[in-house]
Chain A
Amino acid sequence: MNAADDAVISIRNLKMLYGDKLVLKGINLDVRRGQIIGYIGPNGAGKSTTIKAMLGLASGYMGEIRIFGRDISDGNVEYKRRIGYVPETAEIYDALTAREYLTFIGCLYGMDEVQADRKARALMRTFDLEAVYDARLASYSKGMRQRVLLISSLLHNPDILFLDEPLSGLDANSVMVVKDILVRLAAQGKTIFYSSHIMDVVEKVSNRIILLDSGQIVADGSFEELQERLNEKSLEDIFNQITGFHEHKDIAEKFVSIVQEV
């Protein structure tokens, strides 16, 4: 098997116009099975746009996106059957109960209703949420909803996972569980696209880090490689150095001095 065949996702020269602004300026990327990719970058760098393009939500991009070896621009949506997604905005139909929502999502992925219900309930049980399985999502706390979203993205046993801030609102114990889940999934050969602003988690979870800045990939490699190349200790420092952000001390100082004015 050569490298191109092995690529689950392969992106060539992806560009995207938003109005008259180029938000993606030619992304090239090959992702293989079993990789956990920490996809990071400042706000507005184009992370969500890339993910949306891969999910077929953004029309009108230039370049080529191949997922499982097929070009996705022809409108065939079958490839989505093997993708799971946790959106950053945590959108959910909160008038539904967890049972209704999860079986619905399962069915959209082509699962049998009974099977989806059984599996959803079992997954809810492991997250300690079985008691509220039939309560409306509107009554859930943020952390509970986030867990439901995670379940909904994994119910159909996908091969690729797109996770956008998947840990937001979760307590430290749940975070540990989820991190371990991700590592195990990757070990089984699943590919995980992990997008977050929390650098310590990205640093620990991912085995490949891609840093995006103003629509371009500016760094790509394992954490250790980046550490060595840039001679920085933490991912946070690497991030600051590459994105050219050095004035954090000045800004903090100014902020505090305004606070003290009263």
Chain B
Amino acid sequence: MKDFISLKVMDRLRSVFETLGCDYRVMRQIVQVKLTMDRRRVPTILQGTARKKNRPESEDKNSFVPSLLLYAFMGLLTVPFVLMNQNYMLQMSVTFGILMFLIMSSMVADFSSVLLDVRDRVIISTKPVNRRTMSFARTIHIMIYLFLLTGSLAGAPLLAALFAHGIVFFLAFLLEIMLMDIFILVVTALLYLLILNFFDGERLKDIINYVQIALSIAITVGYQMIGRSFYVIRLHIVFHTAWWQAVVPPFWFGSTFEWIMRGHASPLLILFSTLALIVPIISFAAYIQLMPAFERKLQKLSSNEAMGGMRKRAWLQAVSRIICRSNEERAFFGFTSVMMAREREFKLRVYPSLGFAMVFPFIFIFNSAWSNGLKDLASSRWYLSIYLSALMIPSVVMTLKYSAQYKAAWVYRTAPVQSIAAIFKGTIKAFLARLFLPIYLVESIVFVATFGIRVIPDLVVACLSMLLYAVICFQFTRKSLPFSEPFQVIEQSQKYVGLLLLLLIGVFAAIHFVFTLIPFGVYIYLFLLVLLNGAVWAAGVGFRSEKLLYDPTPQLYPVRRGE
């Protein structure tokens, strides 16, 4: 185990901890173990980028430091707001808003597993470790994490503040950031307490999962916005302080700058600034009071009372009866449907791309409407931008072979599966029916509302093309049984395939465009697509790869020592 710098810093305060009644040697050990385990986790922000396949796990492969660099980069997003020399109240409130969102969601996304580690009870509490030492260790651990996270996020804006507005501004900023951290810590813990009060651990994990998904979407969007955000410096915005802002914490922190640096001593600004100081302190006191209750509630995490989920999904069965031909196919349709809805790791990887697929077509339409006006839009061919929603297909098709519980895939081999084509067909159909089509339907409704009912045949054509496209995606990516491999980064070769497949969707759109130039061309194309889809889906062309099932060199049980 490494001797972390943070531990060495802590060593200097040893006597302080000891006077507070804490067994320093033991506490240091616990924190060291916790930090070591942190270094071996892949943070959400790096999901899908780090970790090369088959690379031997080095003693302390650190995915934590790269994630901090990425956070530092995200911190640039707030720099323009700090720099714009206008209404301090507004610009600093926005800065704090962004910082709070990023810190809090990262806390929830990556630190929950640490904060909520139920193993601590069995492993540590059964040893002669007194309660005070344990809660010190936990608090120190969280503080180190928060310090590193905040340090990298707020580094750039703090420097910008120092150079643009001077030392007083800088110090006020620093102090408020610390208060903000305390506030975030307490709010997160109280949030968990509240959720655990009403739900069980599984539900909490689901909620954490959705925060992770939101964070990865926000990171991707934020990444795109960093360059553009600098335009705000030139903007002139009129902003008024109002009572309602008292319920939005970032405004508390922003108000101080307007009051102290600009000398606007309005009662509201003073009130907000007082809140910024007092609320974190009071909530921290409350937090210390509630810590024992929190520890008790943690027991609930390991329990699973929820008996739900066994509701008969009659409509789902009806759908599978219609679109699946054999029992095998139907079984895999149902299985994939449930896995897609429940497996958190899968959702974390796939749901963000579903979100983007949903938004991309509209971004294009808005851009065109912005420059050409709404009138022309209705009669244009911009509806072809719906092809952009197919962008999710390759990534989902490639992800369907991964699972956190890939080892359970032994059932495929021990069960007498007749046809592997049925497995793949059932799986792909489940994805199309459960994830793709609902999104496509929603988009279509908006498209019909925008472009008129004349585009309905085109939307049907686009839909049929995408069903075909899904099969092509499946054909050209490396095939493996569904949910049978551990999650890992997509291999290099697969990345190029993925890129080609993205181009292919452009080809589909282009063909569609050509047909729209011919009279009744759309209907001709529609007819052709129906035939092609029939050949592929009914006859099962393109789904045959029986050898996978009997392949004696399986990817099923990769030996991953030291993982």
Which chain A residues have a beta carbon within 8 Å of chain B's beta carbons?
Answer: 55-57, 59, 75-81, 83, 85, 87, 89, 91-93, 95-96, 100, 104-105, 107-110, 135-136, 138-139
Q: Given A57-B125, A87-B122, verify A138-B26 contact (CB < 8 Å).
A: no
Q: Which 10 A-B pairs have the closest CB atoms?
A: A108-B127, A80-B128, A81-B128, A91-B122, A91-B119, A95-B37, A139-B561, A95-B40, A107-B29, A87-B122
Taking the closest CB of chain B, its distance from the CB of A12, in whole angstroms, is 22
Q: Per-residue 0/1 for B21-45: is the Cβ within 8 Å of any A Cβ (1 yes, 0 no)?
A: 0000110011001001100110000
Contacts known (A96-B33, A136-B562); A107 close to B123, Cβ less than 8 A: no
Which chain A positions have C-beta within 8 A of B562? 135-136, 138-139
From A77, A85, A107, contact of B130 by CB (8 A): A77
> Do the beta carbons of B36 and A108 come within 8 Å of each other?
no
Residues from chain A with Cβ under 8 Å of B36 in the complex: 95-96, 100
Q: Which of B521-563 contact A (CB under 8 A)?
A: 560-563
Is the pair A139, B128 in contact by a Cβ cutoff of 8 Å?
no
Given contacts A57-B121, A107-B29, A108-B26, A95 and B41 within 8 Å (CB-CB): yes
Residues in chain B near residue A79, CB distance under 8 A: 128
Output the least CB separation between A139 and chain B (Å).
Answer: 4
Q: Is the pair B128, A77 in contact by a Cβ cutoff of 8 Å?
A: yes
Contact A100–B33 (Cβ < 8 Å): yes
Contact yes or no, A136 B57, CB < 8 A: yes
**Known contacts A93-B37, A95-B37: A77-B122 contact under CB 8 Å:** no
A-B contact pairs, 27 of them (CB 8 A): A55-B125, A56-B125, A77-B129, A77-B131, A79-B128, A80-B127, A81-B128, A89-B122, A91-B122, A93-B37, A93-B123, A95-B36, A95-B40, A100-B1, A104-B33, A105-B127, A107-B26, A108-B29, A108-B30, A108-B127, A108-B129, A109-B128, A110-B26, A135-B562, A136-B561, A139-B560, A139-B562
CB distance from A184 to the nearest CB of B (A): 24
Q: Which residues of B contact A100 (CB under 8 A)?
A: 1, 33, 36
- In the complex, what distance in Å separates the CA atom of A173 from the CA atom of B205? 40
| B563–A138 CB distance below 8 A | yes
- Distance A107 CA – B128 CA, assembled complex (angstroms): 10
B interface with A by C-beta (< 8 Å): 1, 25-26, 29-30, 33, 36-37, 40-41, 57, 118-119, 121-131, 296, 560-563
Shortest Cβ gap from A19 to chain B (Å) = 12
> Are B29 and A104 neighbours in the complex by a CB distance under 8 Å?
yes
* Residue with the highest number of chain A CB atoms closer than 10 Å, among B1, B126, B296, B561: B126
Q: Verify B128–A110 contact, CB threshold 8 A.
A: yes
Contact A108 B124 (CB under 8 A): yes
Q: Is B128's CB under 8 angstroms from A78's CB?
A: yes
A258–B121 Cα distance when bound, in Å, is 42
| Given A57-B121, A100-B33, A135-B562: A109 and B127 interface contact (C-beta under 8 Å) | yes
B33 touches A92 (CB 8 A): no
Residues in B with CB closer than 8 Å to A77 are 128-131
Contacting residues, chain A, for B33 (C-beta < 8 A): 93, 96, 100, 104
Q: Which residues from chain B contact A104 at a C-beta distance below 8 Å?
A: 29, 33
Which A residues lie within 8 Å of B561 (CB)? 135-136, 139
Out of A55, A78, A110, name the residue touching B126 (CB < 8 Å): A55
Given contacts A55-B126, A77-B131, A92-B119, 8 further A-B contacts (CB under 8 A): A55-B125, A75-B131, A77-B129, A91-B123, A95-B37, A96-B33, A136-B57, A136-B562
Which residues of B sit under 8 angstroms from A105, Cβ to Cβ? 123, 127
Q: Are A80 and B126 in contact (CB under 8 A)?
A: yes
Alpha-carbon distance between A172 and B436 when the two chains are bound, in angstroms: 52
Cα(A76)–Cα(B122), bound, Å: 18
Give the distance in Å from the alpha carbon of A100 to the alpha carbon of B119 in the complex: 16
Residue of A nearest to B33 (CB): A104
In the assembled complex, how far is the CB of residue B146 from the closest CB belonging to chain A, in whole angstroms?
21
Contacts of A135 in B (CB 8 A): 561-562
Once the chains are docked, how many angstroms separate the CA of A95 from the CA of B560? 13
Q: A80-B126, A85-B126, A100-B33 are in contact. Are A107 and B25 (CB under 8 A)?
A: yes
**Contact yes or no, A108 B119, CB < 8 A:** no
Residue of A nearest to B123 (CB): A91
Contact A139 B129 (CB under 8 A): no
Residues of A within 8 A of B30 (CB): 108
Note all chain B residues with C-beta closer than 8 A to A109.
Answer: 127-128
